Amino acid sequence: MIFVKLIFMKRTKLTLKQLSTQ
């Protein structure tokens, strides 16, 4: 379950980066 949390956090960070770039 920890791995899932890490992946989720990573994806969220990437999404935030893309949003801020736009």
Encoded tokens for 16: 């935030």
Residue-level pLDDT at 22: 78
pLDDT in tens, 1-22: 799 999 999 999 999 999 988 7
* Amino acid code (one letter) for 3: F
| DSSP secondary structure code for residue 10 in this structure | H
Residue-level pLDDT at 1: 77
The gap between the terminal CA atoms of the chain, to the nearest Å, is 32
Angle, CA of 1, 4 and 9, to the nearest 5°: 130
DSSP 3-state of 2:
helix
